[in-house]
Amino acid sequence: MMLNIVPKDSFQNGVHPPEHKDETSHLAIRRFAFAPQLIVPLSQHLGKPAIAVVREGQEVVRGQTIGEPDGFMSVAMHAPASGVVKRIALAPSISGTMVPSVYLQPFPASSQEVDDGEPCDVATATPDEIITAIQQAGVVGLGGAAFPTHVKLKPPDGKQLDTLIINGVECEPYLTTDHRVMLEQSADIFMGVRYLLRVTGAAEVIIAIEANKRDAERKLTKACPPDLPLSIRVCPVKYPQGAEKLVIKSLLGREIPSGGLPADVNAICVNVATTAEIGRLLPKGRGIQERVITIGGPGIQRKGNYRIPIGTTVRFALKETGAADNVSRVFLGGPMMGPAVSNLDIPITKGTSGITVFTTAETIEATGHKTVYPCIHCARCVEACPLFLNPSYLGLLAKSEEYMQMAEEFHLMDCFECGACSYVCPSHIPLVQYFRLAKKMVRKLNVPA
Amino acid sequence: MSELKKYLEIGSSPHVTSGDSVEVIMRNVFIALLPVCIFAIYSFGAAAALVLATACVSCIATEHVLCKVTSQPSTIGDWSVAITGMLYGLTLPPDLPLWMVAVGGVFAVAVGKFLFGGLGSNAFNPALVGRAFLQAAFPQAMTHWALPLGDTRFVELPNSTLALPFAQPVYDAVTAATPLAAMKFDGIQAVNRDLLFGLTSGSAGETCAVLILVGGAYLVARNMMNWRIPISIFATVAAITWIFNLYAPGSYATPAFMLLSGGLMLGAVFMATDMVASPITNAGCWLYGFLIGSLVVVIRFWGGMPEGVMYAILLANAVSPHIDWFIRPRVFGVGGGTG
């Protein structure tokens, strides 16, 4: 096996926000208690919601399928605890919309026992069987995008995949879930890699990590089975190194064409926690009923990495971990891309990689109450944007509502909202917010009336 | 924790910022300019101090009053107008009548900045707009230069400083030629230590190349200035001058003289780098610097005036948006770069 350090200029531009990772990176993953009520949305992924296959009042066993995928762009949902389905109704979500969800009341003595399903043996299963098994296990991208993994694994016709990248970069500040998964679940990861290799037919596997996780590198190097065509590469610490486009650029030197997919450059990128889940669940035919998240930030007393049941509300999670009294801002994921929570009763879903809590002090220090100045053309955003967009000019266009020009001439739709431009802007212009809105408007305008 | 706070603050990600803000950048530019100001006062005495003070006060007051008149919150707190005032003062002859200084300051901010829409919208460097106005309105006063290090410079003001508005200023008998004027009109070239350390006559802040470079280096180190602009200007001026000097050493100045004399240092380091009026891409900045450098040489060698930095920068300011329009960064995944 080869060890490789990716040079500092792995990708151009980017920023270096304070990492805050050593606050939780040394803490082993712990199990989280069952909340008195779990809310499992039927749509936790991009694509079509699952169809509920349980009735109100029905008793379910932990791990039992409670939602079947509705077509290919959909995944199954599983009961996170043994209990009673209280109702199937709308529940609030992070985006502010209401989504159909299963309200589950765990039995007071709900055990950790899980209902096993049909095992999928990596040695004998065909690629199509594995793809179905991944869909049935409800696997989506756990890095945050929540894109159904089995869809990603089926490349468009005529595309050959040569490299499978396992993304353990985790560049968001505060988050340490992928780090802990790599330290504690190396066997699961390698098992997952076997499934993914079989599905994709890739000849080579690269695990990408950031230089701030050298212990994970050592651990994986030691544990790696000799028969896997696998290498581990250490990327420089730079945000947003973990973005799919930039990982592929850093490791392979290939640029995904604007508007294209990793398959266009014969690569596929899967998050390391997702890989570990595939390796953990498929041999037993189980589904995702919990995930690892980092609960941290200055507003949390018992910071840590927790294996938390899907459907736990943010309120319960914060209560259990001891949120401070002066909590001011709560967001799902890290501070660069994580959406702020406006309602604490939203459930943690498969795409939630963490809960970060700021108190009043950080909110004021970081973002609050600062004057927004006009753009002074300082070019810091241009130097920060990893995709070489011109956030300064895009911002001006957004202000004058020239949405179509932004998309057609200035590649607005390539922006993946990493937040680097807003992070560096000395005028405190909410550039990313402008771009989110503009992208929405462009999608609306592009739909024929 | 008894009960979680009822109201959460929400906001768009990112929830952290790098900490630099417009006023921090502006304050640092101000700090970088301070040594230059102190040297101007050391070299030209009380008159220079009064010119600088008048320039700053007139600029800041104009912005404040205009904000109030147009019912907007005053924007003098962002420090940008203070820099405009200081830079403007540094470009003026130190014995310029103070009333002219004030008139130019009002013009610089009212026309050069406010009329265009204030901070971030000025197409031209406001300080240079003010200076250009004075150059056009009072050509004689703008080309009258005091000697540096005069014996009585701290105890006595030149007659011209306190001249009454619209009266013909009466100049002291002692006057001097700037190194550039001496070169242009008398063919005298003085490349020596005085030129490097600024012990020559000239505008209040343009003489000491060393301090200007120190200020520039400070800003570059703090990532508050694009070093490509001054470097590109210097390289262009030096290269073109070198070629002509090689070809006819008698009629053309040497590169060292061209770099150290006149307003080139001050202009290249502090004026051309005005973020608002310069291109946003690095490639654009190289081109912009090349444009300024070439114009400076053309005006100095073949123009009617000994100095051309001001007009070179103003012209390049006008071209800057077009440079941005034509030179755009190659977007990730578009053309080239794949493979």
Provide the pLDDT for residue B196.
79
CA distance A147 to A47: 8
Q: Is residue A19 part of a domain?
A: yes
Interface probe for B, chosen from A313, A343, A362, A388 (most Cβ of B below 10 Å), is A388
Q: Do A388 and B329 touch (CB under 8 A)?
A: yes
Q: Do A335 and B280 touch (CB under 8 A)?
A: no
Provide the pLDDT for residue B3.
55
Provide the pLDDT for residue B2.
46
Q: Is residue A38 part of a domain?
A: no
Using alpha carbons, select from A415, A426, A408, A366 the residue that is nearest to residue A391.
Answer: A415
* Other CB atoms within 10 A of residue A306 CB: 29
Structure tokens at A411: 């590649």
CA distance A143 to A381: 25
> What CATH number does residue A232 fall under?
3.40.50.11540
Q: What band does B222 get if pLDDT is binned at 50, 70 and 90?
A: very high
**What residues of chain A lie within 8 A of the CB of B14, using their CB?**
17, 335-337, 367, 419, 422-423, 432
The tens digit of pLDDT for each residue in B234-261 reads 999 999 999 999 998 878 888 988 898 8
pLDDT of residue B288 exceeding 80: yes
Q: Do A328 and B9 touch (CB under 8 A)?
A: yes
Chain A touched by B193 (CB under 8 Å): no
> Which ranges of chain A have pLDDT less than 70?
1-3, 367-369, 448-449
**Residues contacting B3, CB < 8 A, separation 6+:** none
8-state DSSP, B271: I
Q: Which of A255, A322, A374 is facing B337, going by the closest CB pair?
A: A255
CA dihedral B236, B241, B242, B245 (to 10 degrees): 170
Q: Is residue A123 part of a domain?
A: no
Which tops the pLDDT comparison, B83 or B201? B83
**What residues of chain A lie within 8 A of the CB of B276, using their CB?**
376-377
Helix/strand/coil for A307: strand
Interface probe for A, chosen from B1, B5, B15, B273 (most Cβ of A below 10 Å), is B15
The answer to whether the beta carbons of residues B332 and A255 sit under 8 Å apart is yes
Q: Is residue B11 part of a domain?
A: no
Run of H or E residues at B28 = helix B22-44
Run of H or E residues at B247 = helix B228-247
In chain B, residues 59-118 whose CB comes closer than 8 Å to chain A: 78, 80, 117-118
CA distance B253 to chain A (A): 35
Q: Is residue A422 part of a domain?
A: yes
Q: Is residue A98 part of a domain?
A: no
Could you tell me if A387 and A271 lie in one domain? no
Could you tell me if A280 and A386 lie in one domain? no
Could you tell me if A269 and A387 lie in one domain? no
Last residue of a domain, one of A258, A284, A310: A284
CA distance B302 to B323: 26
In angstroms, the Cα distances linking B327 to A414, B124, B322 are: 19, 20, 8
CA distance A183 to A178: 9
CA distance A139 to A239: 26
Q: Tokens 């202009």 belong to which residue? A: B267
Using alpha carbons, select from B288, B290, B310 the residue that is nearest to residue B299.
Answer: B310
Q: Is residue A303 part of a domain?
A: no
8-state DSSP, B230: H
The answer to whether the beta carbons of residues A164 and A268 sit under 8 Å apart is yes
The tens digit of pLDDT for each residue in A312-348 reads 999 999 999 998 888 888 999 999 999 999 899 999 9
Structure tokens at B170: 């009466």
Q: Is residue B212 part of a domain?
A: no
Of the spans A359-363, B19-23, B42-46, B101-105, which averages the highest pLDDT?
B101-105
Provide the pLDDT for residue B241.
94
Q: Is residue B25 part of a domain?
A: yes
Last residue of a domain, one of A284, A305, A332: A284
Looking at residue B203, its amino acid is S
Q: Which of B4, B226, B275 is facing A376, going by the closest CB pair?
A: B275
Last residue of a domain, one of A284, A312, A341: A284
Q: Do B275 and A258 touch (CB under 8 A)?
A: no
Provide the pLDDT for residue A83.
94
Structure tokens at A352: 């939630």
Partnered with residue A356 across adjacent β-strands are A296, A331
pLDDT of residue B307 exceeding 80: yes
pLDDT of residue B1 exceeding 50: no
Q: Is residue B61 part of a domain?
A: yes
Based on the number of CB atoms within 10 Å of its own CB, is B210 exposed (0-12), middle (13-18) or buried (19 or more)?
middle
Run of H or E residues at B102 = helix B98-107
Angle at the Cα of B100 from the Cα atoms of B94 and B101, rounded to 5 degrees: 55
Domain hosting A205: range is 2-27+140-284
- The region of weakest confidence among A150-159, A361-370, B53-62, B221-230 is A361-370
Provide the pLDDT for residue A368.
59
Q: Do B275 and A379 touch (CB under 8 A)?
A: yes
Partnered with residue B184 across adjacent β-strands are none
**What residues of chain B lie within 8 A of the CB of A424, using their CB?**
17-18, 20
CA distance B316 to chain A (A): 16
In angstroms, the Cα distances linking A18 to A11, A172, A238, A240, A299 are: 19, 10, 10, 13, 17
Q: Is residue B73 part of a domain?
A: yes
Q: How many domains does chain A have?
A: 2
Provide the pLDDT for residue B339.
38
Q: Is residue A88 part of a domain?
A: no
Q: How many domains does chain B have?
A: 1
Q: Is residue B144 part of a domain?
A: yes
Q: Is residue B115 part of a domain?
A: yes
Could you tell me if A156 and A260 lie in one domain? yes
- Residue of chain B minimizing CA distance to A15: B18
**What residues of chain B lie within 8 A of the CB of A389, using their CB?**
329, 331
Q: Is residue B120 part of a domain?
A: yes
Domain hosting B118: range is 21-176
Provide the pLDDT for residue A318.
93
The tens digit of pLDDT for each residue in A370-400 reads 788 999 999 999 999 999 999 999 999 999 9
Q: Do B21 and A428 touch (CB under 8 A)?
A: yes
Question: Is the predicted ipTM greater than 0.95, yes or no?
Answer: no
Whole-structure pTM value: 0.91
Q: Is residue A175 part of a domain?
A: yes
Q: Do B281 and A387 touch (CB under 8 A)?
A: no
